[in-house]
Amino acid sequence: MKKLSVYFMMLAMMMAVTFVACNKNEDEISDPKITMPNAITVDLNDLEGFQPIDVAVNADEDLTSVKVSVQAAGNDIYVVENVSFEGKTTTGWAKTYTLDDFPPIELIEPLKDSDLTFCIEALTKSTNAFKSASITVIPFDDEPGETDLTDAVAFTLGRPEHSGFPATDMGITWASNVDGNTAKFTTAKNALIILPNEATYNAITTQEVLKAAFEAVPEASRLSEFTAKSDANFTAQYLIVQDGATLRLIKMTGLEFKPNENKGYFTEKH
């Protein structure tokens, strides 16, 4: 009888351990699993031969978002799409991407020697995952002739009642001061694109690439104004401005607010 009691006691302990272990496994949530190729090739001589990219994401809990982008040296140069699952219940997502989903070839080709990657970032409410595939760009056998942009030329804008500098130049107008350290600038309607970072700005070296970058943004999505903080709060801005028949690549390098002397500093290429 004593042996039987010990047996049942041990059995109960084993069941308790098993129950706790099961509960522990159920509470553990792994990072989303991303399935995609490890490498992608873009042959500029055979664009029709581009192999579609199959992507799948599976998670232990509901997905909240998936971001798909192309990066150069770790920085986004083109966001393919941001997929939001707000209000939806799904732990799985899949899609096939083609060359039409990539940045324009004219924007990719100058970056062929950069660290280009096709990136997927998946988020749930408590986990996240990131995976990338290297992009190899095979250049044209015969490089097409392109026209280099002009050298950068500096220009300055000012508030007309406080400065001897013009309020309008190179397709940009200093429209107003929003507050004590913020200026508002305008362009013609749907004539402005704000580039994401300096790497994208530096990649635009020819008129053909400048045109392709501008036309890659639908007209309805282009802007007509931007703001900038002054002095210690200033951060550089990188713009494409359509000024009549001329596309201008513009970098805003500074903004000063001083009594009777408000000045904005820019450089321009076209």
Instruction: List residues bridging with 121 in a β-sheet.
Output: 67, 130
Q: Indicate if 173 and 99 belong to the same structural domain.
A: no
In a domain, 1, yes or no: no
Answer yes or no: do 159 and 265 share one domain.
yes
User: What are residue 223's DSSP bridge partners?
Assistant: 192
Tens-place pLDDT, residues 2-35: 444 544 444 444 444 444 444 445 468 889 999 9
Q: What is the DSSP string of the chain?
A: -HHHHHHHHHHHHHHHHHHHHHHHHHH--PPPEEE--SEEEEETT-GGGPPPEEEEEE-SS-EEEEEEEEEETTEEEEEEEEEE-TT---SEEEEEE-GGGSPPHHHHGGGTTS-EEEEEEEEESS-EEEEEEEEEEEPPSSPPP--BPPPPEEEEEE-TTT-SS-SEETTEEEEEEEETTEEEEE-STT-EEE-S-HHHHHH--BHHHHHHHHHTS-GGG-BSEEEEE-GGG---EEEEEEETTEEEEEEEEEEEEETTEEEEEEEEE-
- Domain membership flag for residue 160: yes
Q: In the predicted model, what is the mean pLDDT of residues 185-208? A: 94
SS3 letters across 39-104: EEEEECCCHHHCCCEEEEEECCCCEEEEEEEEEECCEEEEEEEEEECCCCCCCEEEEEECHHHCCC
198 and 128, same structural domain?
Answer: no
Higher-confidence residue of 244 and 162: namely 244
Do 180 and 118 share a domain, yes or no? no
> Residue 59: what pLDDT?
92
pLDDT value of residue 214: 95
Between 231 and 6, the more confident residue is: 231
Overall domain count for the chain: 2
Question: Of residues 142 and 41, which shows the higher confidence score?
Answer: 41
262 shares a domain with 193 = yes
Domain extent, residue 49, equals 33-138
**How many CA atoms within 13 Å lie on the side-chain side of 117?**
16
Strand 92-97 and strand 53-58: the pairing is antiparallel
Q: Is residue 145 part of a domain?
A: no
Calpha distance 122→82 (Å, rounded): 10
Q: Which of 138, 172, 197 is the last residue of a domain?
A: 138
Together in a domain, 174 and 133: no
Quick one: average pLDDT of 245-265? 93
CATH number, domain of 56, equals: 2.60.40.10
Single out the residue in 76, 106, 138 at which a domain terminates: 138
Determine the pLDDT at residue 35.
95
* Inside any domain, residue 13: no
Residue-wise pLDDT for 53-101, tens only, equals 999 999 999 999 999 999 988 888 888 999 999 888 999 999 999 988 8
One domain, residues 188 and 239: yes
Could you tell me if residue 24 is inside a domain? no
Dump pLDDT digits (tens) for 158-194: 986 666 789 999 999 999 999 989 999 999 999 999 9
How many residues can be counted in the chain? 270
Looking at 73, 107, 138, the residue that finishes a domain is 138
Digit-coded pLDDT (tens) for 102-122: 888 777 778 777 888 999 999
Give the number of other Cβ atoms within 10 Å of residue 267's Cβ: 15
Angle at alpha carbon of residue 117, lines to 114 and 118, rounded to 5°:
150
Q: Is residue 26 included in any domain, yes or no?
A: no
Are 172 and 250 members of one domain?
yes
Say if residue 64 is in the same domain as residue 37. Answer: yes
At residue 115's C-alpha, the angle toward residues 113 and 117, to 5°, is 125
Q: Can you tell me the distance from the alpha carbon of 57 to that of 85, in angstroms, rounded to the nearest whole number?
A: 13
